[in-house]
Chain A
Amino acid sequence: MSGIAIRGLRFERDGRMVLDLPVLDFPAGSTTAVFGPNGSGKSTLLRVIAGLERPSAGTVTFGGNERRRGDVAIAFQEAVFLRGDVRSNLALGLELRGIEPAERERRIERVARECGIAPLLDRRATRLSAGEGQRVNLARTLALAAPVMLLDEPLAGVDRIMRRALLEELPLLLRAVPAATTTLVVTHDREEAFRLADRLVVLIGGRVTAGGESGAVYRAPPDRATAELLGYTVLETASGELLAVPPGGLRRGPGAIGFELRVGRVVDMGRHRHAAGWIGRAAAELKLGWDEPVPAEGATVPVHAAEWVAVEG
């Protein structure tokens, strides 16, 4: 078993703190989304775990051991290939890890089938489309069957249709790896984070603000930044409390926890309408039923929070 244990990890670049992770664990066999805005240190964390960057301080251990060559397979955000066909690109990593030719062939055939790239095997790897490239990138990583698998933005640069398909397929592929594989998926997209992994680590400004089972993290965001990242609207009550309101948690009319929504514009979403505007300085949206009167743009509408979680500042 090869869980990842991070202790006292600090990473500085040009005197600036990029990562500050006193204690962070990824249990053996788990799939975790490392979720955060751009520049939060997500990719650096993957690079440090993969041994491509040396941390300024601290340790990363795998199942209690130092990292050995072959422990980690990483798929970079932009798929990089060598000249030659897809098959030889898939074979290279296996060859470098000393896998016998017959076993190489078996693994390539398997991942090609699983990732839907069998028809691409004899194509030039540097001539693939973005979507094809990401599939091959993924296949190359899966083929290594490493105990630790790191995927950096696996759906980056993929068109909408391919992204839809991969959002469905990728969780199945990740479930098909050996049970002891510890997988990390870096993403800045909320939907990806929840669909691809069952655990969530929220990284903001190089620090972990929340971590654990995805649903539990979502239901109890600890602070404003985390709540906003998870899609909540954070509102301040008259008494100065901060409330994180989930999408659809605002209702029309006065209530126990009331606010004034200044309507910016009304958006016709097809099956319903949204009044988008501001409560104080926070952007907020109110869902309107078809039978409801449409507020004028610029008008102020009384609303109340029907669902909310209290958060820290």
Chain B
Amino acid sequence: MRDLATGLAEALAMLLRGDAELYGVIGRTLFISGTATALAMIVGVPAGYALARGRFRGRTLLLAAVNTGMGMPPVVVGLIVWLLLARSGPLGGLELIYTPGAMVIAQFAIATPLVIGFTTASIQALPPRLPDLLTSLGASRLRTLWLISREARLGLLAAIMAGFGAVVSEVGASMAVGGNLRGSTRVLTTAIVTVTGRGEVAEAVAFGLILLALAFAVTLTLTWLQQRRDS
């Protein structure tokens, strides 16, 4: 309990002091996880839509693969991405390993199945005739997609929350492909591991509380958007 209290005090002190390294870590965390989640939405929402509405061979298999991916241990994803991006790996030439770029790729791989899974479920929950209705009312393809997304916004915002929540809190993949380099790839979760290892418990708790507050702030915003009354 005492550690928690000192941690809270330490967190406030660091924030108020304007600790440059802390703000750097927070910014990097938001940037890497935010970018990974955004990319996962760009790929995952259309893919989820196709899986929900499409009738093609191997659809069930693909859905099962996605559902499995939703529960993939981040450290395994990290390992696979590490093998691909390592200097000796097939994509080693890109020289991405131990950069924020590598972390975005790994987190993207973690978030995408979550986004696809949530999107598929939310689109399938809509009336099956909805696309036909919109087409018959005169909506263009793009407009139809937009209107359907608006109808499914509860599920789509849940997809963002699940995706962002998963990647902002994972440590295994970020550690594996980012390397926890101070000032370049250290994020909140890997920072917690580092300071805990050094026995600086109060600082670790401070990082932990800041991470929780960050995740809560993002989720609160999304929840507020999700639960707004129909205009």
**Chain A residues within CB distance 8 Å of chain B:** 47, 50-52, 69-70, 72-74, 76, 78, 80, 82-85, 92-93, 96-97, 124, 144
Bound-complex Cα distance A80 to B132 (A)? 10
Q: Which of B127, B137, B231 contacts A92 (CB 8 A)?
A: B137
Task: For the complex formed, measure the closest distance between the CB of B136 and the CB atoms of chain A, giving whole angstroms.
Answer: 5
Q: List chain B residues, Cβ under 8 A from A52.
A: 132, 135-136
Which 9 residue pairs are nearest across A and B when measured between Cβ atoms?
A93-B137, A96-B138, A80-B127, A80-B133, A97-B138, A74-B136, A80-B129, A84-B230, A83-B230
In the complex, the number of residue pairs spanning A and B with C-beta atoms less than 8 Å apart equals 41
Given contact pairs A80-B127, A92-B137, A96-B139, enumerate 15 new A-B contacts (beta carbons under 8 Å). Answer: A51-B135, A52-B135, A74-B136, A76-B129, A76-B132, A76-B133, A78-B129, A80-B133, A82-B130, A82-B151, A84-B230, A84-B231, A96-B143, A97-B138, A144-B137
Task: For the complex formed, measure the closest distance between the CB of B43 and the CB atoms of chain A, giving whole angstroms.
Answer: 26
Find residues 89-140 in chain B having any chain A CB closer than 8 Å to their own CB: 127, 129-130, 132-139
Bound-complex Cα distance A27 to B132 (A)? 26
Asked whether, in the complex, the Cβ of B137 is within 8 Å of the Cβ of A96, the reply is: yes
Task: For the complex formed, measure the closest distance between the CB of B12 and the CB atoms of chain A, giving whole angstroms.
Answer: 42
Bound-complex Cα distance A51 to B127 (A)? 20
16 contacts between A and B (CB under 8 A): A51-B135, A52-B132, A52-B135, A76-B129, A80-B127, A80-B129, A80-B130, A80-B133, A82-B130, A82-B150, A82-B151, A84-B231, A96-B138, A97-B137, A97-B138, A124-B230
B218 on the interface (CB 8 Å rule)?
no
Bound-complex Cα distance A82 to B136 (A)? 14
Bound-complex Cα distance A78 to B139 (A)? 19
B147 on the interface (CB 8 Å rule)?
yes
Task: For the complex formed, measure the closest distance between the CB of B96 and the CB atoms of chain A, giving whole angstroms.
Answer: 43
Asked whether, in the complex, the Cβ of B138 is within 8 Å of the Cβ of A83, the reply is: no
Q: List chain B residues, Cβ under 8 A from A78.
A: 127, 129
Bound-complex Cα distance A72 to B135 (A)? 11
Q: List chain B residues, Cβ under 8 A from A96.
A: 134, 137-139, 143
Q: List chain A residues, Cβ under 8 A from B134.
A: 96
Q: List chain B residues, Cβ under 8 A from A93.
A: 137-138
Bound-complex Cα distance A245 to B129 (A)? 41
Q: List chain B residues, Cβ under 8 A from A80.
A: 127, 129-130, 133
Q: List chain A residues, Cβ under 8 A from B129.
A: 76, 78, 80
When C-beta atoms are compared, the residue in chain A nearest to B136 turns out to be A74
Q: List chain B residues, Cβ under 8 A from A85.
A: 230
Select the residue from B132, B133, B139 with max chain A CB neighbours within 10 A.
B133
Q: List chain A residues, Cβ under 8 A from B151.
A: 82-83
Q: List chain B residues, Cβ under 8 A from A51.
A: 135
Q: List chain B residues, Cβ under 8 A from A92.
A: 137
Select the residue from A50, A51, A52 with max chain B CB neighbours within 10 A.
A52
Bound-complex Cα distance A220 to B231 (A)? 56
The answer to whether residues A50 and B230 also contact, given A80-B129, A83-B151 and a CB cut-off of 8 A, is no
When C-beta atoms are compared, the residue in chain B nearest to A47 turns out to be B132
When C-beta atoms are compared, the residue in chain B nearest to A82 turns out to be B151
Select the residue from A72, A78, A80 with max chain B CB neighbours within 10 A.
A80
Bound-complex Cα distance A82 to B134 (A)? 10
Bound-complex Cα distance A52 to B131 (A)? 10
Digitize B136-171: 1 where CB-to-A-CB distance is under 8 Å, 0 elsewhere.
111100010001001100000000000000000000
Bound-complex Cα distance A90 to B79 (A)? 54
Q: Which of A69, A76, A82 contacts B138 (CB 8 A)?
A: A69
Q: List chain B residues, Cβ under 8 A from A84.
A: 230-231
Q: List chain A residues, Cβ under 8 A from B138.
A: 69-70, 93, 96-97
When C-beta atoms are compared, the residue in chain A nearest to B231 turns out to be A84
